[in-house]
């Protein structure tokens, strides 16, 4: 359990460190200002790194702008994650970084678009979105899994979290059912106990 907590804390620190300081600036309070602040935060925090599918190019994977923040692609076939031993490596990601595996199991980048059937609008209003980022618990009671650095985002101001939510309501809605499209590979084996 300690290793899992350390893994979660380490991943959260690495992924959220750059964006953490941005939440301390005083945001505008107009609707258009709130949306623009949200756009800035989504870009600066790097939400697309895990929530936007990629396409492979000659120079490596690139974010697919036609699927911006749509989450792990529905129907993407992943086999079981590679086994991780007791060594220092504690997690792996799919080539496009929309799926991760580690001691917690397998996690998939959620669809953050406002699609009413498969995106944020299905489960979240502004209040439940903020509560989820403050507590690390989805409305259904499930934990937010690594590499989602919610432990860093919970320190953001209410106004910044409202700005994130407001901006996410303005991006194109994309139907992409992450959970039903993702085969759930077996949970990685726990590291062998030290002798």
Q: What is the pLDDT along the chain (195 residues), one digit of tens a residue?
A: 555 555 555 444 444 443 434 444 444 467 789 999 999 999 999 999 999 999 999 999 999 999 999 999 998 888 888 888 777 888 999 999 999 999 888 999 999 999 999 999 888 999 999 999 999 999 999 999 999 999 999 899 999 999 999 999 999 999 999 975 444 444 444 444 454
Domain ranges (residues) in the chain: 2-52+91-181
3-state SS string for 67-79: HCCCCCCCCCCCC
Helix (H) or strand (E) holding 122: helix 120-123
Please state, in angstroms and rounded to a whole number, the distance separating the CA atoms of residues 75 and 17: 32
- Residue 142 CB contacts under 8 Å (≥ 6 apart), including other chains: none
| Whole-prediction pTM | 0.76
């Amino acid at each position: 359990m300690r290793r899992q907590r350390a893994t979660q804390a380490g991943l959260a620190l690495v992924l959220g460190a750059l964006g953490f300081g941005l939440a301390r600036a005083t945001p505008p309070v107009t609707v258009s200002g709130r949306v623009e602040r949200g756009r800035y935060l989504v870009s600066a925090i790097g939400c697309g790194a895990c929530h936007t599918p990629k396409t492979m190019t000659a120079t490596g994977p690139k974010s697919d702008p036609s699927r911006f923040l749509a989450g792990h692609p529905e129907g993407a076939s992943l086999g079981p994650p590679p086994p991780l031993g007791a060594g220092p490596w504690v997690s792996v990601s799919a080539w496009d970084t929309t799926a991760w595996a580690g001691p917690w199991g397998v996690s998939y980048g959620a669809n953050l678009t406002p699609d009413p059937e498969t995106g944020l609008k299905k489960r979240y209003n502004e209040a439940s979105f903020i509560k989820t980022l403050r507590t690390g618990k989805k409305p259904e009671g499930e934990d937010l899994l690594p590499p989602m650095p919610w432990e860093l985002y919970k320190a953001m101001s209410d106004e910044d979290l409202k700005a994130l939510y407001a901006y996410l309501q303005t991006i194109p809605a994309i139907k992409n059912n992450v959970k039903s499209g993702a085969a759930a590979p077996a949970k990685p084996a726990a590291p062998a106990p030290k002798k």
